[in-house]
Protein backbone atom coordinates (compact mmCIF):
# COMPACT_ATOMS: atom_id res chain seq x y z
CA UNK A 1 0.00 0.00 0.00
CA UNK A 2 2.73 2.42 1.02
CA UNK A 3 4.21 2.97 -2.46
CA UNK A 4 0.99 3.30 -4.48
CA UNK A 5 0.97 7.06 -4.38
CA UNK A 6 4.67 7.19 -5.25
CA UNK A 7 4.14 5.01 -8.34
CA UNK A 8 0.94 6.72 -9.44
CA UNK A 9 2.71 10.06 -9.67
CA UNK A 10 5.52 8.85 -11.92
CA UNK A 11 5.92 7.47 -15.44
CA UNK A 12 8.77 4.95 -15.11
CA UNK A 13 9.24 4.85 -18.88
CA UNK A 14 10.37 8.46 -18.65
CA UNK A 15 11.99 8.97 -15.28
CA UNK A 16 15.26 7.41 -14.07
CA UNK A 17 13.84 7.26 -10.52
CA UNK A 18 13.55 3.71 -9.09
CA UNK A 19 10.24 1.89 -9.18
CA UNK A 20 11.19 0.36 -5.86
CA UNK A 21 9.78 -2.32 -3.67
CA UNK A 22 8.93 -2.54 -0.01
CA UNK A 23 11.64 -4.32 1.90
CA UNK A 24 11.06 -6.38 5.01
CA UNK A 25 14.37 -5.42 6.56
CA UNK A 26 14.16 -3.23 9.62
CA UNK A 27 16.84 -0.77 8.69
CA UNK A 28 17.57 2.68 9.99
CA UNK A 29 18.93 4.63 7.05
CA UNK A 30 18.22 8.24 6.30
CA UNK A 31 18.86 10.45 3.33
CA UNK A 32 18.47 14.14 2.60
CA UNK A 33 18.15 14.98 -1.08
CA UNK A 34 18.53 18.49 -2.44
CA UNK A 35 15.87 18.84 -5.12
CA UNK A 36 15.87 21.73 -7.56
CA UNK A 37 12.24 21.40 -8.66
CA UNK A 38 9.77 24.27 -9.08
CA UNK A 39 11.25 25.53 -5.84
CA UNK A 40 14.59 24.37 -4.48
CA UNK A 41 13.96 22.30 -1.35
CA UNK A 42 15.42 19.47 0.69
CA UNK A 43 13.72 16.08 1.04
CA UNK A 44 14.36 14.39 4.37
CA UNK A 45 13.64 10.65 4.28
CA UNK A 46 13.77 8.24 7.21
CA UNK A 47 13.56 4.49 6.79
CA UNK A 48 10.55 3.30 8.77
CA UNK A 49 8.78 -0.04 8.21
CA UNK A 50 10.53 -0.82 4.94
CA UNK A 51 9.91 2.47 3.15
CA UNK A 52 11.37 5.96 3.26
CA UNK A 53 8.96 8.22 5.12
CA UNK A 54 9.45 11.59 3.46
CA UNK A 55 9.22 15.29 4.24
CA UNK A 56 9.94 18.25 2.00
CA UNK A 57 11.81 20.94 3.91
CA UNK A 58 11.57 24.16 1.88
CA UNK A 59 14.20 26.08 3.82
CA UNK A 60 16.56 23.20 4.49
CA UNK A 61 17.90 21.92 7.77
CA UNK A 62 19.03 24.31 10.47
CA UNK A 63 21.56 23.42 13.16
CA UNK A 64 20.16 26.18 15.41
CA UNK A 65 17.82 24.76 18.09
CA UNK A 66 15.94 28.06 18.15
CA UNK A 67 14.81 27.61 14.54
CA UNK A 68 11.82 25.46 13.62
CA UNK A 69 11.74 24.44 9.99
CA UNK A 70 8.49 23.54 8.28
CA UNK A 71 8.65 19.96 6.94
CA UNK A 72 5.76 18.93 4.74
CA UNK A 73 5.11 15.22 4.68
CA UNK A 74 5.04 13.78 1.17
CA UNK A 75 4.38 10.28 -0.18
CA UNK A 76 6.43 7.30 1.01
CA UNK A 77 9.41 6.55 -1.23
CA UNK A 78 11.04 3.15 -1.84
CA UNK A 79 14.29 2.42 -0.01
CA UNK A 80 16.36 2.45 -3.18
CA UNK A 81 15.32 6.06 -3.70
CA UNK A 82 18.00 6.79 -1.11
CA UNK A 83 20.61 6.02 -3.79
CA UNK A 84 19.02 8.20 -6.43
CA UNK A 85 20.99 11.16 -7.66
CA UNK A 86 20.29 12.55 -11.10
CA UNK A 87 17.81 14.52 -13.12
CA UNK A 88 14.05 13.92 -13.17
CA UNK A 89 12.73 14.79 -16.64
CA UNK A 90 9.58 16.75 -17.44
CA UNK A 91 6.71 15.52 -15.32
CA UNK A 92 6.28 15.00 -11.58
CA UNK A 93 9.13 16.46 -9.53
CA UNK A 94 11.12 17.53 -12.63
CA UNK A 95 14.56 18.82 -11.74
CA UNK A 96 17.96 17.85 -10.39
CA UNK A 97 18.32 15.66 -7.29
CA UNK A 98 21.50 15.53 -5.19
CA UNK A 99 22.15 13.09 -2.35
CA UNK A 100 22.96 15.91 0.01
CA UNK A 101 23.49 13.69 3.02
CA UNK A 102 23.03 10.08 3.98
CA UNK A 103 23.76 7.77 6.84
CA UNK A 104 22.08 5.98 9.71
CA UNK A 105 19.79 7.30 12.35
CA UNK A 106 19.25 6.12 15.90
CA UNK A 107 15.83 6.31 17.48
CA UNK A 108 16.18 8.26 20.74
CA UNK A 109 12.51 8.85 21.55
CA UNK A 110 11.80 7.65 25.08
CA UNK A 111 8.38 6.44 26.13
CA UNK A 112 6.39 8.84 28.30
CA UNK A 113 6.61 6.56 31.31
CA UNK A 114 10.10 6.90 32.68
CA UNK A 115 12.36 3.88 32.43
CA UNK A 116 10.06 2.09 29.97
CA UNK A 117 12.54 2.36 27.13
CA UNK A 118 12.19 3.64 23.59
CA UNK A 119 9.03 4.29 21.68
CA UNK A 120 9.22 2.35 18.39
CA UNK A 121 9.74 4.33 15.18
CA UNK A 122 6.32 3.37 13.73
CA UNK A 123 4.69 4.52 16.95
CA UNK A 124 6.70 7.75 17.08
CA UNK A 125 5.70 8.37 13.49
CA UNK A 126 2.01 7.74 14.06
CA UNK A 127 2.05 9.93 17.17
CA UNK A 128 3.85 12.68 15.28
CA UNK A 129 6.73 12.73 17.76
CA UNK A 130 9.94 11.54 16.18
CA UNK A 131 13.31 12.05 17.83
CA UNK A 132 16.40 10.72 16.12
CA UNK A 133 20.12 11.06 16.32
CA UNK A 134 21.53 11.46 12.81
CA UNK A 135 24.89 10.00 11.86
CA UNK A 136 25.38 11.45 8.42
CA UNK A 137 28.36 12.91 6.62
CA UNK A 138 26.97 16.39 7.23
CA UNK A 139 24.18 16.14 9.73
CA UNK A 140 25.06 14.95 13.20
CA UNK A 141 23.29 14.96 16.49
CA UNK A 142 19.72 14.91 17.68
CA UNK A 143 16.74 16.19 15.75
CA UNK A 144 13.04 16.28 16.54
CA UNK A 145 10.29 16.01 13.93
CA UNK A 146 7.02 17.04 15.47
CA UNK A 147 3.67 16.95 13.72
CA UNK A 148 2.11 20.39 13.78
CA UNK A 149 -1.31 20.67 15.32
CA UNK A 150 -1.83 24.13 13.91
CA UNK A 151 -4.65 24.13 11.33
CA UNK A 152 -2.85 27.02 9.66
CA UNK A 153 -0.28 24.71 8.05
CA UNK A 154 -2.60 21.87 7.00
CA UNK A 155 -2.56 18.21 7.97
CA UNK A 156 0.81 17.27 6.44
CA UNK A 157 2.83 19.86 8.30
CA UNK A 158 5.56 18.87 10.71
CA UNK A 159 8.33 20.91 12.32
CA UNK A 160 11.97 19.92 12.13
CA UNK A 161 14.01 21.15 15.05
CA UNK A 162 17.65 20.64 16.01
CA UNK A 163 17.77 19.50 19.61
CA UNK A 164 20.33 20.91 22.00
CA UNK A 165 23.55 18.90 22.05
CA UNK A 166 27.23 19.28 21.23
CA UNK A 167 26.43 19.51 17.49
CA UNK A 168 23.99 22.40 17.84
CA UNK A 169 24.98 25.53 15.92
CA UNK A 170 27.88 23.76 14.19
CA UNK A 171 28.29 24.73 10.56
CA UNK A 172 27.45 22.14 7.90
CA UNK A 173 30.50 20.99 5.88
CA UNK A 174 30.41 20.83 2.05
CA UNK A 175 26.86 22.16 2.02
CA UNK A 176 26.85 22.59 -1.77
CA UNK A 177 28.28 19.16 -2.65
CA UNK A 178 26.85 15.65 -2.90
CA UNK A 179 27.56 13.25 -0.04
CA UNK A 180 27.58 10.45 -2.63
CA UNK A 181 29.56 11.78 -5.60
CA UNK A 182 31.06 15.05 -4.38
CA UNK A 183 29.35 16.77 -7.32
CA UNK A 184 27.59 20.12 -7.28
CA UNK A 185 24.04 20.49 -8.59
CA UNK A 186 25.44 21.89 -11.87
CA UNK A 187 27.77 18.90 -12.30
CA UNK A 188 24.94 16.45 -11.64
CA UNK A 189 22.80 18.26 -14.18
CA UNK A 190 25.54 18.12 -16.81
CA UNK A 191 26.32 14.47 -16.19
CA UNK A 192 22.72 13.45 -16.79
CA UNK A 193 22.75 14.29 -20.52
CA UNK A 194 21.39 11.60 -22.82
Tell me the closest approach of the beta carbon of residue 33 to Mn ion, in angstroms.
7
Tell me the closest approach of the beta carbon of residue 127 to Mn ion, in angstroms.
25
CA angle, corner 122, sides to 108 and 76, nearest 5?
Answer: 115
Measured in whole angstroms, how far is the alpha carbon of residue 164 from the centre of its chain? Answer: 20
Q: Which is nearer to Mn ion, 91 or 122 (by Cβ)?
A: 91
Tell me the closest approach of the beta carbon of residue 94 to Mn ion, in angstroms.
10
Q: Which is nearer to Mn ion, 43 or 131 (by Cβ)?
A: 43
Q: Which is nearer to Mn ion, 35 or 162 (by Cβ)?
A: 35
Tell me the closest approach of the beta carbon of residue 93 to Mn ion, in angstroms.
6
Distances (CA, A) of 4 to 9, 127, 146, 157, 170: 9, 23, 25, 21, 39
Beta bridge partners of 97: 35, 86
Q: Which is nearer to Mn ion, 65 or 89 (by Cβ)?
A: 89
- Binding site residues, Mn ion, CB under 5 A: 35, 43
Amino acid sequence: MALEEYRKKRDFKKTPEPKGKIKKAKGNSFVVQMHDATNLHYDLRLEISGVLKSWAVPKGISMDPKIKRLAIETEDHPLDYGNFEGVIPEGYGAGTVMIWDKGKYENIKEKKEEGKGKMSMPESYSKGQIEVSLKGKKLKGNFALIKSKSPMFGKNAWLLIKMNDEFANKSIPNADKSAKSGKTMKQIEKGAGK
